[in-house]
Structure 1
Amino acid sequence: MEPVLSLNHLTKLYRNGRGVRNISFSVQRGQIVGLLGPNGSGKTTIMKAITGLVTPTEGTISLFGENALHREAALKKVGSLIEQPALFENLSARDHLRMAARYYSDLKKDRIDQVLELVGLFPYRNERCGRFSLGMKQRMGLALALLSQPELLILDEPTNALDIEATVEIRTIIMRLAQEQNVTFLVASHLASEIEKMCSHVLVLYNGEMLSFDTKEEALRLNPSMEDFFLAKVRDKKGSVVL
């Protein structure tokens, strides 16, 4: 089966020397793949390279069998929320989605309200986003990413700034879409517990390097938690460095 997403030796280096090096992995339809690593490990850089926001230094990226450099065709089935959503303070939640809907010719008329209901913002649909809390703004970003009914969703810290109840709700949405609609997810987080609860696969990143790519079951086979798995991989990496 052809993977939804495939990276082959992706490298993106910035002028300060930071970035990612030699990243290779594939994602199959319906999987929820977690990018796990501390801040600055390269999670966002990988996501920006996939969505065309930065140009790789080396390597290739394919989406649904197409070269991701062919932006329009390759990204048509992709939704994304990378870093903080860019919102206009004077526009309502519904107005944001109406504006975004102009880019899609085949959306059903009820899709906007459907998405607002899905992320828990329907009661606030006519409220200006400038009055939203950080968590509500994060939900708004997820709504924008979901609007076109993408087959692949790329989410950077989707539960950032959410309270416990909202975090569970967003996690449930992601898992339900993967299980019931076969939507594929690439989710970045620095929280091992979130990756453990949500994802089917985990890719460990540290200082711009990929330390492992495993199923959740394999990661937890010899480790009591995803946190322990991550720390074990980092210790192995540090122990392999010859001083």
Structure 2
Amino acid sequence: MEYCVLGKNIDKSYGAKKVLDHVDIHVPMNSIYGLIGPNGAGKSTLLKCIMNLIRFEDGNIQVLDNSAGMGKYELNRTGSLIEYPCFYDDLTGKENLLLHSRYMGYYDKKRIDEVLHEVDLTRADQKKVKNYSMGMRQRLAIARAILIKPELLILDEPINALDPEGIKKMRELFIKLNEKQGTTIIISSHILSEMDYLASDIGIMNNGKIIKEKPLEEIHKENKDKIVARVDDISKASILLEERGIQDFKIMDDGQIHIFDLTYDTSCYAELFVQNQLKLYQIDVVKKTLEEYFFEVVGGN
């Protein structure tokens, strides 16, 4: 497999505190790689190391086929948003983007109008950034990150401060960049439901380590859907299932039965329980979420 970013044994400490502990990361070319984990897991530090914003003590990071990591040539092919975005507050959004395009050597004024439209800031392009809301600043930062049509896009919590409509629009924008332009995107987030919508590959980070990497499609295949039922007599329901030859189920502490055998649909199970004088309060097919998988991997509740 070809990788856009490949990191091996990355170590980073601040004083006595080890923030990155022999981290390996494999970001497939043309993927949307969701780097997920709790606050303090080391996500932002790892992204800074990839961007060569901070030095790491040990290990190696290959970026865009350069085994030496992020250099000037790679920077000119990379867009990024890491932590709080900074701008010239007394300039307009459009003026800030014009300055950035000059700095990057990317002289396409039409592109500035395009990205402002893509992040829904066209009507505010002449407004000074000091008068922007937090959500508007975040969208301007995303516009700046995608301005040069990067091959690699690195985004650290990009949907912070966005409302639900803004989150949806940015999700659609990232998917379009990935599918239409072939942009490889690394997105760090602790909002797991959003990564479930967006990512093609997942890296789970905890306590300074990436403890699991997998395509999201594989995660969904391995983590089967289940039927969740709630009845008035759990013991009797268990006996009925066993008599029917169904062994793959689990009794939960909250009084639910989780049935993983999907040979029969919900109507068959409902009929089994009701015909045997059980009161059926709930029965649904529930898809296993990325959030559930995450807590299984990190061992949380």
Q: Tell me which residue corresponds to 2:283.
A: none
Residue identity in the other structure for 1:41: A
Amino acid at match of 1:13: S
Match of 1:222 in 2: 223
Question: Which whole-Å CA distance do the structure 1 matches of 2:172 and 2:294 have between them?
Answer: 24
Aligned partner letter, 2:291: E
Q: Which runs of 5+ in 2 are unaligned?
A: 225-287
Once the two structures are superposed, the pairs formed by residues 1-243 of structure 1 within 5 Å of their partners are 2-69=2-69, 71-220=71-220, 221-222=222-223, 224-235=288-299
Task: Provide closer, same or farther for how the CA distance between residues 222 and 70 of structure 1 changes in structure 2, counting only shifts above 3 A.
Answer: closer
User: Which of the pair has more CA radius of gyration?
Assistant: 2
Range 105-114 or range 148-157, more displaced: 105-114
TM-score normalised according to structure 1 size: 0.93
Greater relative contact order, per chain length (Cα 8 Å cut-off, separation 6+):
1
Partner deviation per Cα, 1:30-71 (whole Å, 9 max, x = no partner) = 200001001100100110001111111111011111134462
Amino acid of the residue matched to residue 40 of structure 1?
G
Task: Return the offset for 1:103.
Answer: 1.8
Segments of structure 1 that go 5 or more residues without pairing to the other structure are 239-243
Corresponding pairs, count: 237
CA contact (8 A) 2:92 2:128 kept: yes
| Contact 2:93 2:126 (8 Å CA) reproduced | yes
Kindly report the root-mean-square deviation, in angstroms, between the aligned alpha carbons of the 2 structures. 1.6
Query: Structure 1 122/68 Cα, relative in aligned 2: closer, same or farther at 3 Å?
Result: farther
Deviation at 1:148, TM superposition (A): 1.1
Deviations 1:185-240 (A, max 9, x none): 0000011111111100110011111110011122223160010011000118x9xx
What letter matches 2:196 in structure 1? Answer: E
Taking every aligned residue pair, what percent have the same amino acid on both sides?
A: 33
Letter in 1 for 2:223: L
The AA in structure 2 aligned to 1:24 is D
Mean Cα displacement is larger for which, 59-68 or 189-198?
59-68
1:112 and 1:147 in contact (8 A); partners too:
yes
| Structure 1 position 88, deviation (Å) | 2.1
For normalisation by structure 2, the TM-score amounts to 0.75
What SS class does the counterpart of residue 158 from structure 2 fall into? Answer: coil
After TM superposition, the runs of 4+ consecutive aligned structure 1 residues lying more than 4 A away are none
Contact 2:111/2:147 (8 A) holds in 1: yes
Q: 1:122 to 1:194 in 2, by over 3 A?
A: same
- Name the aligned partner's letter for residue 232 of structure 1: E
- Judge conservation of contact 1:153–1:184 (CA < 8 Å) in 2: yes
Report SS of the residue matched to 1:4: strand
Structure 1 residues 136, 106: closer, same or farther in 2, change over 3 A? Answer: closer
